[in-house]
Amino acid sequence: MRLARVRMADWVIAAALLTVLVWLIAPQQVPVTVYKLSLVALAAVAGYWIDRSLFPYARPDLFFELRHGSEEAPQETTFTQLGGVINFAEQATSINLESATADQLTRLAAVAMVRRAVIVSAAMLAVSLGA
């Protein structure tokens, strides 16, 4: 039986070697390094969920599913939680997703992926800078 290649194994090895190097040079810094890495990882998860919460109707995978015809267009999202003060209704997109071409859906998915990458990287940068 052939073992499957581990994704990004070279990066795992590099991280392990650098951790050993930090331990050899300054062993008291290993807990700090682990703490900082866990904060950055948690920031990435938080950024992902911030994106999912802010844009539930514009997930990148939705546009690929629409391209293959496995899901219908998203429904209208209405925000009326503040007791009549805000009565805001927003359509998911300005184009009709049911009649969109494969190229248009691919572009929408690309924009959604870039948006998600910007939000996740901003959250990671904010935590890394100590905000």
With the C-alpha atoms ordered 37, 115, 11, 6, is the resulting torsion angle positive or negative?
positive
Domain count, the chain: 1
Alpha helices by DSSP H, listed for 1-131, are: 9-25, 30-54, 60-67, 102-128
More confident residue, 70 or 128: 128
Any domain includes 109: yes
Measured CA to CA in angstroms, residue 56 lies from 30, 69, 75, 92, 116 at distances of 39, 19, 11, 9, 12
Asked whether residue 2 is domain-assigned, the answer is no
The answer to the question of residue 38 being in a domain is yes
In a domain, residue 3? The reply is no
Residue 1 lies in a domain: no
Between residues 35 and 8, the one the model is more confident about: 35
Average pLDDT of the chain is 79
> pLDDT tens-digit profile of 36-67?
999 999 999 999 999 999 998 888 888 777 66
Q: Kindly state whether residue 110 falls inside one of the protein's structural domains.
A: yes
Check residue 27 and give its pLDDT.
95
Q: Is residue 21 part of a domain?
A: yes
Asked if 109 and 63 count as a contact pair (C-beta separation under 8 A), the reply is yes
pTM of the complete model: 0.65
Structural domain including 95 reads: 9-128
pLDDT tens, residue by residue, 66-80? 666 554 544 444 444
Considering the domain boundaries, does residue 4 fall inside one?
A: no
